Structure 1
Amino acid sequence: MSLPVASPRMAFVAAETPSAQFARQRLADRYGATALSDANVIVALGGDGFMLECLHRFIDHPAPIYGMNRGTVGFLLNDFEENELPERIARAVMVSLTPLRMEAVTVTGQTVRALAINEVSLLRETRQAARLRIRIDDMVRLDELVCDGVLVCTPAGSTAYNLSAHGPILPMGANVLALTPISAFRPRRWRGAILPHSSRVSFEVMETGKRPVSAVADYTEVRDIAAVTVHEDPIAKLRMLFDREHHLEERILKEQFTP
């Protein structure tokens, strides 16, 4: 879907790196900078981490985000180019993302909620492996998983940490989530599961004192957890803009053919 405006009003935000700040100033001088409150497009300049920060920061802003790479990998970003920026934005493809909602309860009874655009991961905190019980929609599916960790990811996040943990790449629009173990020790051959996107995934930490576990939703970390629940948050829609020839669906598909 293309952006439904012929003349983008652009607000520029940038990471703190010199290259991103220089690019922001160049673009603002060339095209003029609109205040965030009046913008119908937010142009984000930085790397993938900064793009994730912007998606969280502007989750309630009505304008979609058009990112340009001033970082390293730039999987969630378009190539940087100063010329014809309004025209590129007007031709761009809109991608809507549905984040995950994490609810983590610590061993002291504190509840922490956070959103994750890529994944929610549980990770052991010490030298000893974590012991976890996994429920899907309140039904125990794995009574005991001994591992370094486990994660639930969205299609947009399936090529990130999930892929490094040998999880599956999920096409955009597939309406599924990936549940992927990280260095599973028992059951050693369990490779995870692909779940309907409506699933509610619950983790119970066993032996919390001896085997402490942390939970991370993108960059929000909660230490010493007792239980975590993860599910899609259909209300929190995120909108991104990609150049038509290099949109997110194409990038995810291409990853499946990368040696």
Structure 2
Amino acid sequence: MGLLASNREASQAASAVLAQRYQFADPDSAETLVALGGDGFMLHTLHRMLEGECPNLPVFGMNRGTVGFLMNEWRLEDLAERMAQAKAIRVAPLEMRATTVGGDTFVHAAINEISLLRETRQTAKIEVLVDGRVVLPELVCDGVLVSTPAGSTAYNLSAHGPILPLQAKMLALTAISPFRPRRWSGAILPDENNICFRVLEPENRPVSAVADQYEVRDVAKVEIRLDRERSLTLLFDPEHALDERIAMEQFAT
């Protein structure tokens, strides 16, 4: 197993004590990875895998950050045993293909969500298409997002979108502060659907597109699909696995 740690002091200290207790391989020759940090570092590590900067290996995260929703509890003892008994959770990223007003195209992956956000004081006007069919001719809003089940408890939930069980082969389509249609509450779509957003009046009402931490400004069209061929594997203690955590978020108060 290999070891990665964020630059935070707590992560570096944990890395030092683990290295004294266990034998770690170079990440390039390892079969699994241990990641020390918070959710942001886990997302950073997964994106490095998607971009080919490090091997796409199963990752066992231990929380040395703040929330740690994607991480396991930090413990020094029994690491090898925990990893041997870990529950593997597969997550597939979204692919965003964003075309700007100037005609440039950018492709980025997102593990949690892809969101479109207004850039100025004016609301965005967005046409929504599913598999080439116009389902909303004009959504007037602060923005709109598409979330995976893994990301459904993040920005999507804050925007009053639905929590999706991890096993659900669904995507959440959620408006951010919709003005028209005022009562549109979003949609849950099969994950084989291709979703397209066309920005109406993009010069007067500019919109940016964000795939996790990657932003493309002044977009005219954003196409989104689930990329199953680039699935990632997270490892969790069986009693505290990601699928159970997401399910229990439905009962959080």
Q: Please classify the TM superposition score into its range, dividing by the shorter chain length.
A: over 0.9
- Superposition deviation, residue 33 in structure 1: 2.1
Match of 1:44 among 35, 40, 44: 35
Q: In structure 1, what is the equivalent of residue 115 of structure 2? A: 121
CA contact (8 A) 1:112 1:222 kept: yes
Conserved? CA contact 2:56–2:232, under 8 Å = no
Deviations 1:121-150 (A, max 9, x none): 000001111000000000000000000000
Do the aligned partners of 1:40 and 1:62 also contact (CA within 8 Å) in 2?
Answer: no
Using the alignment, how far apart are the partners of 2:151 and 2:7 within structure 1?
24
In structure 1, stretches of 5+ residues that fail to align are 1-9
Q: Deviations over 1:130-182 (max 9, x none)?
A: 00000000000000000000000000000000000000000011100000000
Say whether 1:258 aligns with 2:252: yes
1:67 equivalent to 2:68? Answer no
| Residue deviations 1:52-96 (CA, integer Å, cap 9, x gap) | 011111235242000010111100000100110000000000000
| Cα distance in 2, alignment partners of residues 231 and 174 from structure 1 | 16
1:139 corresponding residue in structure 2 = 133
Across the aligned residues of Structure 1 and Structure 2, the Cα RMSD in angstroms comes to 0.8
Please tell me whether residue 231 in structure 1 is matched to residue 225 in structure 2: yes
Give the letter aligned to residue 112 of structure 2.
N
Paired AA for residue 39 in structure 1: A
Segments of 5+ residues of structure 2 without an aligned counterpart are none
Q: Report how many residues are paired.
A: 250
DSSP 3-state at the match of 2:4: strand
Residue matched to 1:32: 23
Matched with 1:54 is 45
Find the aligned partners of 2:12 and 2:244 in 1 and give their Cα distance: 29
Counterpart residue identity of residue 26, structure 1 = V
Q: TM-score, normalised by structure 2?
A: 0.97
Residue in 1 that maps onto 2:190: 196
Aligned to 2:238: 244
**Aligned-partner SS, 2:245:** helix
Matched residue type, 1:90: A
Residue 13 of structure 1 aligns with which residue? 4
Which whole-Å CA distance do the structure 1 matches of 2:251 and 2:238 have between them? 20
**Partner-residue secondary structure (3-state), 1:214:** strand
Contact kept, 8 Å, 1:69 with 1:80, in 2: the verdict is: yes
Cα distance in 2 for residues equivalent to 1:28 and 1:129? 52
Establish whether residue 158 from structure 1 lines up as the match of residue 149 from structure 2. Answer: no
- List per-residue Cα deviations over 1:102-137 (Å, max 9, x = no partner): 000001100000000000000000111100000000
Shift >4 Å, 4+ stretches: none
The answer on 1:209 being equivalent to 2:203 is yes
